[in-house]
């Protein structure tokens, strides 16, 4: 995980930081172009050769006015990304786009603590930039990544291991159901809702987007509207992130075993539209659902849950979600008619009536417990969790 701190550059420092972002993006994109030009028999230049090419390009061009260490670091950054792609852990490196992927890396960054709340960070050619300490800095911060978001905020992040969560075993287990109405429903009957945009904010967003559509491309006023939209969206994303962090910490503190649905969220988002040969059905309805799933950040919640559970011996079990919504948690009868509507579960065999999400969460918990009873993991395995067969036949 990364420890991220807000940076507060002085007005005259912003230009320098933006310049570094442009340089890093330019060098990254050049390296990507070079890698794309690879053909058998014509090897791409290695790191040493490219580094020499960069030094040569810096002589007599505008690149020379920028920071050499920022530009060289962009090359190393790219090599790392390429290595990660070959290693199969990450996606193929993409083009960096202006306004979207703004950032650069600083190696051997010097951080000086001013007091309990503030520190300064030395950025080449820019000087000391003020940094707000919202949490203790990790020891030995080697590489720092400075980024700008679309709302115009600057951050610096250091990679650091996930801090251990202090907890005492509770002997309790829980099943979690991901939904659209409630973000997460627990088998204990709790409904957790990720914060949504308020009606006032939604109205403001709509008005801003209408205004944006009328404004002339490239105009100052349009840029101002864009920035206002970005600020609104950034606030929404911050709240969602906060919800996820708080929810996952309290779940990991309260439960020794957490069973979740093994939903492949990414596949769900992709599959709705289908392909040209096999177009999807119900595209519009699924798009709405997909938007809700993405908005509620279930995959991010899952990831943070696993990260945190791994530090303190909590087990996270991913169970196959097939039939969890149609299976009666009391008698085990499974049929589609059990689900009366989106909200209510009513068993056709035994008459058990419950909230549909709570019933599903109970089934997920039962499946998770079955896995551990069969000699599954007694400790968390981290991100790649235990996978199981369908819960009901
Ligand atoms: Zn039943």
Clarify whether residues 145 and 219 are in a common domain. Answer: no
Residue that wins the pLDDT comparison between 284 and 219: 219
Do residues 200 and 327 both lie within one domain?
Answer: yes
Query: Residue for token digits 């720092």?
Result: 144
Interval 109-131 mean pLDDT: 91
What percent of the chain is predicted at pLDDT more than 70?
A: 85
pLDDT for position 386? 43
Give the model's pLDDT for residue 91: 84
The pTM for the full model equals 0.74
| Rounded Cα distance, 384 and 262, in Å | 11
The Å distance, Cα 296 to ligand 1 centre, comes to 31
Q: Please indicate, yes or no, if residue 168 is contained in any of the structural domains.
A: no
Q: Are 66 and 125 in contact (CB under 8 A)?
A: yes
CA–CA–CA angle 234, 238, 239 (5° rounding):
120
Q: Would you say residue 360 has pLDDT above 70?
A: yes
Structural domain containing residue 123: 2-159
Find the 376 Cα to ligand 1 centroid distance in Å: 28
- What's residue 174's pLDDT? 95
In this structure, the dihedral spanned by the alpha carbons of residues 38, 44, 47 and 49, taken in order and rounded to 10 degrees, is: -150
Task: Indicate if 16 and 48 belong to the same structural domain.
Answer: yes
Distance CA 173, CA 376 (A): 15
Residue 350 alpha carbon to ligand 1 centre in Å: 4
CA 291 to chain centre: 15
Is residue 115 over pLDDT 50? yes
Per-residue pLDDT at 387 exceeds 50: no
239: exposed, middle or buried (Cβ count in 10 Å: 0-12, 13-18, 19+): middle
- 218's torsion region: left (phi>0), alpha (psi -120 to 50) or beta? left
CA nearest 248: which of 324, 188, 183?
183
Q: Are residues 301 and 231 in the same domain?
A: yes
Are 183 and 325 in a shared domain? yes
Please tell me the distance between residue 336's alpha carbon and the centre of ligand 1 in angstroms. 13
**How many domains are there within the chain?**
2
- 392 alpha carbon to ligand 1 midpoint, in Å? 13
The answer on 356 and 234 residing in a single domain is yes
Verify that 284 and 358 share a domain, yes or no.
yes
**Does residue 206 sit in the same domain as residue 347?**
yes
pLDDT tens-digit map of 22-80? 999 999 999 999 888 877 777 778 888 888 999 999 998 888 999 999 999 999 989 98
- Residue 324 scores a pLDDT above 60: yes
* 185 in the same domain as 150: no
Query: What pLDDT does residue 26 have?
Result: 94
Q: How far is CA 157 from CA 103, 121, 196, in A?
A: 11, 11, 27
The reported pLDDT for the residue numbered 125 is: 92
What are the tens digits of pLDDT across the range 85-112?
Answer: 888 878 889 999 887 778 999 888 888 8
Are 303 and 350 in a shared domain? yes
- Length of the chain equals 393
Distance 349 CA to ligand 1 centre (A): 5
Distance 334 CA to ligand 1 centre (A): 8
How many helices (DSSP H) and strands (DSSP E) are in the chain? 9, 14
Residues 346 and 201 in one domain: yes
Say how far apart CA 106 and CA 129 lie, in whole Å: 13
Catalytic residues: 177, 261, 357
Average predicted confidence (pLDDT) for the chain? 83
From 44, 221, 233, select the one nearest 150 (Cα to Cα).
233
Nearest to 106 by CA among 119, 92, 91, 125: 125
Tokens encoding 115 = 């007091």
- For the stretch 159-201, pLDDT in tens is 878 888 889 999 999 999 887 677 889 999 999 888 877 788 8
Task: Report the pLDDT value the prediction gives residue 48, as an integer from 0 to 100.
Answer: 87
- Which helix H or strand E contains 319, and what residues bound it? strand 315-319
Task: Choose between 84 and 9: higher pLDDT.
Answer: 9
Q: What is the pLDDT of residues 236-290, one digit of tens each?
A: 888 888 999 999 999 999 999 999 987 665 455 444 444 454 555 555 555 555 5
323 Cα–ligand 1 center, Å: 14
Tell how far the Cα of 182 is from the centroid of ligand 1, in angstroms. Answer: 24
What are the phi and psi torsion angles at 303 (to 5°)?
-65, -45
Provide the pLDDT for residue 284: 56
At 228 the three-state DSSP class reads helix
On whether both 33 and 130 belong to a single domain, the answer is yes
Q: Considering the domain boundaries, does residue 382 fall inside one? A: no
């Amino acid at each position: 995980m990364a420890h991220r701190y807000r940076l507060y550059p002085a007005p005259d420092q912003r230009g320098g930081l933006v310049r570094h972002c442009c340089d890093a993006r330019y060098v990254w994109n050049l390296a990507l172009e070079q890698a794309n030009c690879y053909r058998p028999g014509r090897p791409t230049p290695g790191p040493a050769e490219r580094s020499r090419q960069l030094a040569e390009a810096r002589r007599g061009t505008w690149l020379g006015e920028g920071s050499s260490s920022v530009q060289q670091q962009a090359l190393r950054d790219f090599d790392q990304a390429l290595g990660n792609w070959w290693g199969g852990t990450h996606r193929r490196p993409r083009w960096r786009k202006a306004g979207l992927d703004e950032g650069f890396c600083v190696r051997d960054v010097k951080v000086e603590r001013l007091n309990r709340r503030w520190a300064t960070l030395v950025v080449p050619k820019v000087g000391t930039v003020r940094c707000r300490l919202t949490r203790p800095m990790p020891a030995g911060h080697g590489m720092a990544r400075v980024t700008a978001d679309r709302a115009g905020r600057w951050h610096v992040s250091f990679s650091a291991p996930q801090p251990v969560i202090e907890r005492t075993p509770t002997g309790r287990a829980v099943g979690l159901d991901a939904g659209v109405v409630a973000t997460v429903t627990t088998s204990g009957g709790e409904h957790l809702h990720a914060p949504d945009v308020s009606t006032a904010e939604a109205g403001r967003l709509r008005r801003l987007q209408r205004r944006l559509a009328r404004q002339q491309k490239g105009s100052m006023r349009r840029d101002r509207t864009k920035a206002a939209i970005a600020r609104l969206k950034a606030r929404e994303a911050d709240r969602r992130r906060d919800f996820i962090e708080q929810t996952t910490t309290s779940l990991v503190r309260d439960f020794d075993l957490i069973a979740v649905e093994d939903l492949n969220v990414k596949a769900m988002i992709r599959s709705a539209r289908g392909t040209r040969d096999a177009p999807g059905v119900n595209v519009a309805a699924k798009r709405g659902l997909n938007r809700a799933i993405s908005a509620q950040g279930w995959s991010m919640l899952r990831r943070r849950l696993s990260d945190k559970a791994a530090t303190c011996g909590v087990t996270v079990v991913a169970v196959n979600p097939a039939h969890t919504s149609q299976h009666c948690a009391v008698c085990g009868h499974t049929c589609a008619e059990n689900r009366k509507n989106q909200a209510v579960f009513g068993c056709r065999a035994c008459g058990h009536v419950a909230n549909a999400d709570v019933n599903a969460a109970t089934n997920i918990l039962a499946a998770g417990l079955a896995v551990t009873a069969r000699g599954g993991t007694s400790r968390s395995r981290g991100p790649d969790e235990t996978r199981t067969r369908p819960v009901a036949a």
